[in-house]
Structure 1
Amino acid sequence: MTVKMIAVDMDGTFLTSQQDYDREKFKQLYNKMKEQGIRFVVASGNQYYQLKSFFPEIATEISFVAENGAYIVSEGNEIFNGEIDPKTIQKVLQILVNFEEGHIILCGKNSAYVSLNEPDEFVAHGQKYYHRLKKVPDLREVKDDTLFKFALSFPVDQVETVLHQLHVALGDKVIPVSSGHGDVDLIVPGIHKAHGLIKLQELWGVKTEEVAAFGDSGNDLEMLKHAGYSYAMGNGQPEVKAIAKEIISSNDENGVLLKIEELLQN
C-alpha cells in the first residue's frame, strides 16, 4: 500500500466543529509525511487566503486546491486558475434574482465580492471563509478580476430542492454542488477538486492509485471517486459515504488525523 499524496477537505472533514484541528498531532504527522515523500494537499471550496491562514508555518511548502479546484497554488506558486466567461456571469446573476431566499458571494482570484444589500450576518458568515471579501454596490459591475465561482447560501431545508431547480435553470453554464450547511457552490463545468488533484499529480508524477482523499460533502464526490484511497467522514452526507471506499470517525473525533497516522505506518 503506497500513498504519495494526501488530500483533505477542510470544513466538516479536517476541521472540527470549532473550526480548528489538533495542531500538535498534525505537526508530528506532517513531519513523517515529509520524511516519506508524501505530498499534503488542502482541497476545499474555500478561498485560498482563508485556507493558508490555517497553516501559517508551512503554507509555502504545501499545496492548495482552493475554490473547489478553480484556483490551485503549490508551494506558493500559482498552478492553475479557472475562469467563468463574463457573459455567463451576467446570465447567472440574472437567473439568481429568481432565488429570493439565496445570498450570493462572487468569487475571484484577487477577492470575493458581496452586494451592499446583503444582511450583515451573511457578510460576517462569508468573512469566515473569504478573508478577502469586498462589499460592492452591484455584483454585475465587478470587472477587474478573474471570476471563477459563485458561493450561494440557502436555508438548510431548501438545499435539495434548490439544487434541482438550479440544475434546471442553469443548464450546463455552471454546475451547482452542495458544500454543506446550506451552502451551494456554482462551479465551472469540469473544474472540481479531482481536476485539481490531477493537475498536481501531473506536476509530481503521482499515480491515481497513490492518492488518498478525505471528504464529507457533495463537492468532494469527484475527488473521492478519483482517489485510489477514499475516506468519507462519519458525519458525511449519505451520497459521500456511499461512494467512499471507507467510512471513518467524524471530524470531531480526529477522524482524518487518525487515518493518516494509520496510512503512514503501512
Structure 2
Amino acid sequence: MIKLVVTDLDGTFLNSKGSFDMELFNEVHEGMKRKGITFVACTGKQCERVEKLFGQHGRGVWILGDSAARIKKDGQVVREFSMEPALALQAIQEIQLFDSQMTIIVCASDAAYVHSSISDEMYDVVKGSYEQVIKTDSFAGISTSFIKITVFDTQGRCTALRKHVEHTMEGQIYIVDSEPRWLDITALHTHKGETVKTLQEMLGVTSRETMSFGDGENDVELMAVANYSFAVSNACENTKRAAQFITKSNDENGVLRTIQAIMDLQE
C-alpha cells in the first residue's frame, strides 16, 4: 500500500512551461488525502517559491526544498541541513576561480543571496526558482546559516565545474551537476535520497510504501529510496537506469496520471 509519494518538480512534475495542471492536481491530491497518502515536492527550488507555486492548493504538501536541504510543511520549517560556513565560502572561492562571471546563488535560512553585480537577465532567471532574493556585495557577510550553493552557467560547463571543485573539496561536500547549466552544493550526505529517508522515519513510512518520480541527475538517489520509482520519459539516462519504471513525460502529466492509476489499482 502506497503511503508516500515524492516527486521532483522541474522536468518531472512541472511541464516545459514551468506550470502544472491545477485541476487534475486538486482531483488527485484530494484522492490521496482520502486514502492517507502524503504528497511531497522534492526540489532544488526554494521552499518559499514552491509555496507560491502551489498557492492555496498546497496545504498538507511537504516540501523538501533548496535541493532537499530544508523541510517545510504548511509554512513551518521542520528541519534544515546547513553547511559549515568555512566550507561554503571555500566552495564559492573555487567556483570564482573557475570563472568569476558565473551566477552564484547562496541559499541561506532567511533568503537566497546573489551578488549585487548580477545582470537583470540573470536576476530574472534566479527569481524563477527563488521567491526571496537579496543582493549582496559579499557572500562572506551573510549572517544566517548557509543551506546550499547553486550555480547557473549559460555556457553549460557545470560538469567541468564539478570536477574542478571536487579536486580540492571531494569528501567534504555533496556536489551534483543536475544538468549542464545547473550545479548544486550542499552539506556532505545532504541530498534528495537522504532527506527523503529522514522524512520516511519522521512519518513512519518504509521504502516499500513509497513512490518517487524524477528526471535529472540529482534524482538518481531519489529512485533508490522508493520501491516504486518512476523516471518520466524525458528523464536523463542515468535516472532511467536507476528507476524501476518509466512513465509518461512531464508534458503528459506523467506524475499525476501514474498516481491516479496506482490509487485505482489499490481500490
Query: Which TM-score bucket, shorter chain as reference?
Result: over 0.9
Structure 1 residue 181, shift from structure 2 partner: 5.7
Contact map agreement 2:162 2:176 (CA 8 A) in 1: yes
What SS is found at the alignment partner of 1:97? helix
Give, in whole Å, the separation in 2 of the partners of 1:5 and 1:181: 30
Give a deviation string over 1:51-103, Cα, whole Å, max 9, x none: 11122124341111111221001344322111111111221222122121522
Give a deviation string over 1:114-164, Cα, whole Å, max 9, x none: 001222211110011011010111112212x11110010123542332222
Structure 1 residue 169, shift from structure 2 partner: 3.3
- One-letter code of the match for 1:219? N
| TM-score, normalised relative to structure 2 | 0.94
What SS is found at the alignment partner of 1:32? helix
Give a deviation string over 1:214-254, Cα, whole Å, max 9, x none: 01111111111111111111111111111111111111111
Residues 1:222 and 2:221 aligned together? yes
Give, in whole Å, the separation in 2 of the partners of 1:240 and 1:154: 22
Give a deviation string over 1:176-224, Cα, whole Å, max 9, x none: 2123361110111111112221222122211111110001111111111
Contact map agreement 2:240 2:246 (CA 8 A) in 1: yes
- One-letter code of the match for 2:72? V
Taking a change above 3 Å as real, the CA distance of residues 160 and 87 of structure 1, as seen in their structure-2 partners, is closer
What SS is found at the alignment partner of 1:69? coil
| TM-score, normalised relative to structure 1 | 0.94
Give, in whole Å, the separation in 1 of the partners of 2:171 and 2:91: 11
Give, in whole Å, the separation in 2 of the partners of 1:69 and 1:252: 24
What SS is found at the alignment partner of 2:54? coil
- One-letter code of the match for 2:20? Y
Give, in whole Å, the separation in 2 of the partners of 1:204 and 1:249: 29
> Which structure 2 residues correspond to residues 191-210 of structure 1 after superposition, within 5 A?
191-210=190-209
The residue number in structure 2 matching 1:232 is: 231
* Percent of pairs with identical residues: 27
The residue number in structure 1 matching 2:211 is: 212
The residue number in structure 2 matching 1:265 is: 264
Aligned length: 264
Contact map agreement 1:233 1:251 (CA 8 A) in 2: yes
Taking a change above 3 Å as real, the CA distance of residues 97 and 157 of structure 1, as seen in their structure-2 partners, is closer
Structure 1 residue 170, shift from structure 2 partner: 2.3
Give, in whole Å, the separation in 1 of the partners of 2:167 and 2:35: 47
Give, in whole Å, the separation in 2 of the partners of 1:43 and 1:4: 16
Contact map agreement 2:82 2:187 (CA 8 A) in 1: yes
> Which structure 2 residues correspond to residues 14-33 of structure 1 after superposition, within 5 A?
14-33=13-32
What SS is found at the alignment partner of 2:211? strand
Deviates more, 1:165-174 or 1:83-92: 165-174
The residue number in structure 1 matching 2:128 is: 128
Q: Which runs of 5+ in 1 are unaligned?
A: none
Give, in whole Å, the separation in 2 of the partners of 1:16 and 1:213: 17
Contact map agreement 2:159 2:180 (CA 8 A) in 1: no
> Which structure 2 residues correspond to residues 101-120 of structure 1 after superposition, within 5 A?
102-120=102-120
Give, in whole Å, the separation in 2 of the partners of 1:190 and 1:36: 33
- One-letter code of the match for 1:95? E
- One-letter code of the match for 1:45? G
Give, in whole Å, the separation in 2 of the partners of 1:61 and 1:210: 19
Give, in whole Å, the separation in 2 of the partners of 1:248 and 1:60: 26
Contact map agreement 1:61 1:76 (CA 8 A) in 2: no
What SS is found at the alignment partner of 1:125? helix
